[in-house]
Amino acid sequence: MNAKNERYDLLKGLFQERRFFKLVCGAGNENLTEVRRLAAIYTIAGAAMHDLSANIDVVEAAKRGVEEAYALAPLLGKKIAMRPYLNVSIGLKGDPHVRKALIDRGACVECGECIKACRQEAISEGYSVEEFKCIGCGDCESVCPAGAIRYIHKRADFENILPECAKRGVETMELHGVTDDDEAVLHDWKLLNTIITDNFLSVCLDRSLLSNRHLIDRIRQLHEVTGERMIVQADGVPMSGEGDDYNTTLQAVACADVVMKSGIPVVVLLSGGTNSRTGLLARQCGVNAHGVSVGSFARKLVKRYVTMEDFDTNIDALSEAVSVAEELVRANLEAIGG
Ligand code: SF4
Ligand code: SF4
């Protein structure tokens, strides 16, 4: 058995034992400092995978974060249980995870509400969006009184970028398919399947545009391509998980329930509105998902550390950040692993 297959078996084992926690850095998050620091914190805290934008610089930043974690963990008295998998995400046109906000200056009334609402601090005082920070969450649009927020979607040269990501250590890939265009989803799924041939592929789906039946039909169609190597990241409400209560995470559990009840033999991850209550709610509802992916809430928990000017040299800040991250990982894994 070669090393690559061993990593596949290890990941499969984590799913079977329900010991899988994924940090979602953000499919559109190209803030290299933030990604590096998030990767360092959550590697020590026990995340099994880091989900990244399909961008070579972002992948390299995450790799640096993982290496920093190995160097710093002993100073915190910690031992890293496993080297996390790096996953890159791509998305189809219209999927909120991969869009970027753009302010229509002709319509903007310069009220400043979007600046206050933006969790990524991506909007400057001059009312322009710093693309590399924007994660497409839509919070700016929801507070804009003038309807001045537009979105752009740039389709990158994935045919070349994705193989390069794989060469640089990316082991799994994910397709964000919030669209009603089944053909487009299948096309990109097949593309990923030509690049990752011996490990899991993930599709992130929600029910914003699809009925339950359409969701299951799509999963069945994609499953015919990858078979058992398929993960369904069942998204409740994308990027909605900044709150830490049961209602915020309700749709994540509900979507996973729909997928699990289909009986299609895929790995199912809870996502989209996930927080520290997700694992517990899933368990109480009898939804035996194989893992938990946390993005917005995981990033928010450690944001005050990640944005510190001296974070890279401040071991106390790292220690505190790791403690709060560990608590999030532990709360979810204890609940789903039950
Ligand atoms: S609020 Fe969200 S979508 Fe708007 S600029 Fe900030 S990160 Fe981008
Ligand atoms: S919320 Fe809308 S109107 Fe107000 S500053 Fe932002 S883009 Fe302009």
Name which residue leads in pLDDT, 263 or 3: 263
Q: Is it the case that residue 296 has pLDDT exceeding 50? A: yes
Residue 329's pLDDT band, with cuts at 50, 70 and 90, is very high
Closest ligand relative to 113 C-alpha: 2
Smallest CA separation from ligand 2 atom 4, residue: 111
Q: Which CATH number fits domain 100-152: 3.40.50.1110, 3.30.56.10, 3.30.70.20, 2.60.120.1130?
A: 3.30.70.20
In the chain, the percentage of residues whose pLDDT exceeds 90 is 87
Distance in angstroms (rounded) separating the CA atoms of residues 203 and 216: 12
CATH code of domain 3-96+156-337: 3.20.20.70
278: Cβ–Cβ under 8 A, 6 or more apart, which residues?
Answer: 249, 252, 253, 270, 292, 294, 332, 335
CA-derived radius of gyration, the chain: 19
Q: Identify the pLDDT of residue 205.
A: 93
Q: Is it the case that residue 217 has pLDDT exceeding 80? A: yes
Where are the domains positioned within the chain? Answer: 3-96+156-337, 100-152
- Please name which of 62, 73, 85 lies closest in space to residue 10, comparing C-alpha atoms: 85
Q: Identify the pLDDT of residue 175.
A: 95
Average pLDDT, rounded, for the chain = 94
Mean pLDDT of 128-145: 93
203: Cβ–Cβ under 8 A, 6 or more apart, which residues?
Answer: 174, 175, 177, 185, 189, 219, 222, 230, 231, 232, 233
Please report the atom of ligand 1 found closest to the CA of residue 114: 1
Q: Is it the case that residue 1 has pLDDT exceeding 70? A: no
- In the reported structure, the alpha carbon of residue 307 is separated from the centroid of ligand 1 by a whole-number distance in angstroms of 17
Please report the atom of ligand 1 found closest to the CA of residue 141: 4
- In the reported structure, the alpha carbon of residue 196 is separated from the centroid of ligand 1 by a whole-number distance in angstroms of 31
**Does ligand 2 come within 6 angstroms of the Cβ of 127?**
yes
Name which residue leads in pLDDT, 145 or 241: 145
49-53 vs 85-91, strand pairing mode: parallel
From residue 16, alpha-carbon distances to 46, 171, 209 in Å are 17, 19, 30
- Of the given ranges (23-37, 67-81, 149-163, 193-207), which has the lowest mean pLDDT? 149-163
Smallest CA separation from ligand 2 atom 2, residue: 144
Smallest CA separation from ligand 1 atom 2, residue: 137
Smallest CA separation from ligand 1 atom 8, residue: 134
- In the reported structure, the alpha carbon of residue 97 is separated from the centroid of ligand 2 by a whole-number distance in angstroms of 21
Using one digit for the tens of pLDDT, what is the confidence trace for 22-52? 999 988 899 999 999 999 999 999 999 999 9
Mean pLDDT of 320-333: 98
Distance in angstroms (rounded) separating the CA atoms of residues 273 and 291: 14
Using one digit for the tens of pLDDT, what is the confidence trace for 78-103? 999 999 999 999 988 777 777 899 99
- In the reported structure, the alpha carbon of residue 148 is separated from the centroid of ligand 2 by a whole-number distance in angstroms of 6
pTM for this model (two decimals)? 0.91
- In the reported structure, the alpha carbon of residue 143 is separated from the centroid of ligand 2 by a whole-number distance in angstroms of 8
Q: Which residues line ligand 1 (CB under 6 A)?
A: 101, 117-118, 120, 122-123, 129, 134-140
**Does ligand 2 come within 6 angstroms of the Cβ of 110?**
yes
Mean pLDDT of 159-167: 94
- In the reported structure, the alpha carbon of residue 197 is separated from the centroid of ligand 2 by a whole-number distance in angstroms of 45
Mean pLDDT of 247-263: 96
Mean pLDDT of 264-268: 98
- In the reported structure, the alpha carbon of residue 117 is separated from the centroid of ligand 1 by a whole-number distance in angstroms of 8
Residue 320's pLDDT band, with cuts at 50, 70 and 90, is very high
